[in-house]
Amino acid sequence: MSRKLEGAAPRTRLPARSVDTHMHLYAPQYPQLTPGPLVPPDCPGIDEYRRLQRWLGLEQVVIVQANAHRDDNSCILAALDAFGENARGVAVVKPETPESTLAELHQRGVRGARIMQLPGGAVGLEHLLAVNARVREFGWHCIVQFDGREMLDHVPLLQQIDNPFIIDHIGKFLGPVTPQDPEFQALLKLMDRGNCYVKIAACYESSHTGGPEYADTAALSRALIAHAPERVLWASNWPHVSQSVDNAPDDAVLLDTVCGWIPDQKTLERIFVHNPRDLYDFS
């Protein structure tokens, strides 16, 4: 079964210069590296993603290093070269990554470093401060993903960051959490510091109520948007590698669902255009 890359257009008409802030690309010449997760058998790449962009009405993109490729950023660099100024990248950086490598990554469009405290991640939270210290010199930020049920444990670490950083996937609460629970309230307080962004993405990965409405992650997303819309980002999380191809969400339907959580056009433009353009240095 092939991935759905076209169909009925979304009901939502996205504003010009809308940015997808988190997706992954693969290519046969860049194999899976141990102990990362497997590369999808169909290797969804640049051509497939461009079809998705046309279908959804997207113009610019942030390509995030796939866990399957560990710290070999070759695949995203090739994609950045292909997309040009319409793309930025999030790479895997280690504390010992040479300065010359960081400079090359920056020149080719990388603006962030990935920290992943979940199975398959290449660089975990124990390296966050060291990696952040390296990349902030280039005006980059770290994107951070962990099980949100551990939020209270990680807040002291995250509070040590005084430049921008991003919490992925609505906080990635892998157990049921409500907007009133202390773990989620701690996330809101991080946003209040002024440098913490949260990405509205992959609602299907942590929802316990399920689609198509994802009522539980919808409630969290609405609370984030109401609390600090200036620090919320949207992302497709395409090609949804946590799901099988036949169980992956319909991207047009998912986009409409998420946009239904956004109260008005001004906020939609803030989340899809202004916030990511400021953070990712798009021209």
Which residues does the annotation mark as catalytic? 237
The full DSSP string for 69-106 is GTT-THHHHHHHHHHGGGEEEEE---TT--HHHHHHHH
> 61: closest CA among 198, 228, 232, 238?
238
Residues whose CB is less than 8 angstroms from the CB of residue 203 and which lie 6 or more positions away in sequence, other chains included? 170, 214, 217, 218, 221, 254, 257, 258
Residues whose CB is less than 8 angstroms from the CB of residue 211 and which lie 6 or more positions away in sequence, other chains included? 204, 249, 254, 257
The C-alpha R_g of the chain, in whole angstroms, comes to 17
**Residues 197, 191: Cα–Cα separation, whole Å:** 6
> 242: closest CA among 61, 117, 70, 119?
119
Q: Strands 141-145 and 60-64, how do they pair?
A: unpaired
Q: Strands 232-234 and 87-91, how do they pair?
A: unpaired
**Residues 8, 17: Cα–Cα separation, whole Å:** 21
Inter-CA distances, 220 with 174, 225, 226, Å: 13, 9, 10
φ/ψ of residue 232, rounded to 5: -115, 140
